[in-house]
A and B are shown apart, each in its own frame.
Chain A
Amino acid sequence: MNEPTIQIRDLHKSFGDLEVLRGVDLDVQPGEVVAVLGRSGSGKSTMLRCVNLLETPTSGTITVGGMTAFADRKAAKGRDLVALRRKVGMLFQGLNVFPHLSVVENVALPMVRSLRTGHEQAVDTAIQLLGKVGLQEKALAMPGQLSGGQLQRVALARALAMNPLALLFDEPTSALDPESTMDVLNVMKDLSAEGMTMIIVTHEVKFALDVADTILMIADGKVIERGSPAQIAENPQEQLTRKFLAEHTKFEGSAA
């Protein structure tokens, strides 16, 4: 069996007295898409943010691409931390495209500054990636001129530009209207078809069941259930999972 791209063991995280993660284990194989479901406050975002050390875990181990991100209560620092973050791209709920840079600069500048890519090559890659997310003609636009869905796709192109081993998605469509949501989800689906390794924290249950290889259900800082989309959708074992799925598919049915 392959070495997992991302491995999380017994991950704990507390904010003061509040214990947000209480022993999470997760293996993400190369090319695997893991969708993480759960109510707000269940700890799913915190788990994701621990992977690239935007949050420092309290205890447990995390390895990414064979590199230790966190072990023995010590987090990677300095060069190791920067190297770790280059291995995993991340998309956020907030549309964090840099507003003072044009679209092409958003994608190309991190390459130039962080990977020391040549200007010509950085622009080539940026234009190609913008084409991939359907925004090549917006290359010279400023972020203020774009819609939410377009901004999120720029952020995706920007993350891909770093040539990451895996992508982390923290509710990437929660701030978007339905149409923009579809645009972003379609690009994500294309990526999964190309074999990109992804962890997706989302409330889009239908999308998760459609695209993911594995569904992870988190409640109160613990994984309460995991399985293939078919298992989870057709035969959820936990009462909480059943309730969650019922709530999240109730209105989607009537809207479609």
Chain B
Amino acid sequence: MSLFSVDWGGYVPVLVDGLVKSVQLTAIGFVGACLVGFVVAVLRMSQNRVIKAAGYLYTELFKNLPIITGIFIIYFGLTGIGLVLDAFTAGWLALSLFYGAYLAEIFRGGLQGVSRGQTEAARALGLTSSRVLMTVQLPQAVRLALPATATMLVDLLKGTALLVTIGGGELMTQATIITSETFQPLEVYIVIGLIYVAMSWPLARLAGYLESHLREGTAMSPTNRKLRRITRAKLAQAATATTGGKVGR
């Protein structure tokens, strides 16, 4: 007797299709969420009260609205005003808008976590405000925000399963189709569940790996790497000039 009662071999193309859609939705949705998150975080830190309030309203609205409601508004609701989106587009759009609100809070925490002394020292060195942001604030904020951001990425990957409600074509949608054909919900959903675990677990591990490396002080930009390389070469050169020089002559 076979371990499986579902003919999984025949469903491979369907599963691959769902898997690809899930990965695409995750990737596009996350990039969109990062952009939205960054913009809203900057709005929320603005000195201007109106701009600040706009950012606040955005995060509060999306933090308190169920994602599924948002998905339905975008996919079904917007047709009422003549805006018809396909399920895939509505899917990544909804994920970007919602996760953008969560990421905005995380990014803001990261940026505000960089101490005032750091930015003051950078300004005192005569760096322009954009240089202060790029050289001092952002690199430190990224390190602070990385763990929570990675958690959100994994959460977003799992969140793509919600798009089953609008037939997003992703893995969970395929699972319902396979179930309706095989009448084996237990087996199908366990297998699909394991596929989600197999995707999200390595993603979380990768984030952990990145985090520990950045903490140890890996140079993030090419300029930083170049400065370290030149330094290493010059120090080695100086060392041979003082010790090896005598041997040479």
Contact = CB atoms under 8 A, between A and B. Distances in A.
A112 B227 contact: yes
A126 B230 CA distance: 11
Contacts of A86: 125-126
B234 A96 contact: no
Interface string B114-154: 01011011111111100100011001100100000000000
Nearest to B140: A100
A21 to B, nearest CB: 19
Determine the main DSSP class of B at the interface with A.
Answer: helix
B226 interface: yes
Contact of B139 (A85, A100, A162): A100
Nearest to B141: A100
A54 B132 CA distance: 14
A90 interface: yes
A110 B125 contact: yes
A109 B120 contact: no
Interface in B189-213: none
Contacts, number: 108
Interface stretch (A117-125, A227-235, A245-253): A117-125
A110 B136 CA distance: 10
Contacts of B231: 104, 108, 123, 126-127, 139-140
Interface string B93-128: 000000000000000000000010110111111111
Contact of B121 (A92, A126, A127): A92
B121 A96 contact: yes
A155 B226 contact: no
A109 B227 contact: yes
B2 to A, nearest CB: 55
Nearest to A53: B123
B217 interface: yes
A162 B126 contact: yes
Contacts of B135: 98, 109-110, 113
B117 A96 contact: yes
A119 B228 CA distance: 10
B110 to A, nearest CB: 12
A221 B137 CA distance: 33
Contacts of B223: 109, 112, 119
5 contacts: A96-B120, A101-B224, A104-B227, A114-B125, A119-B223
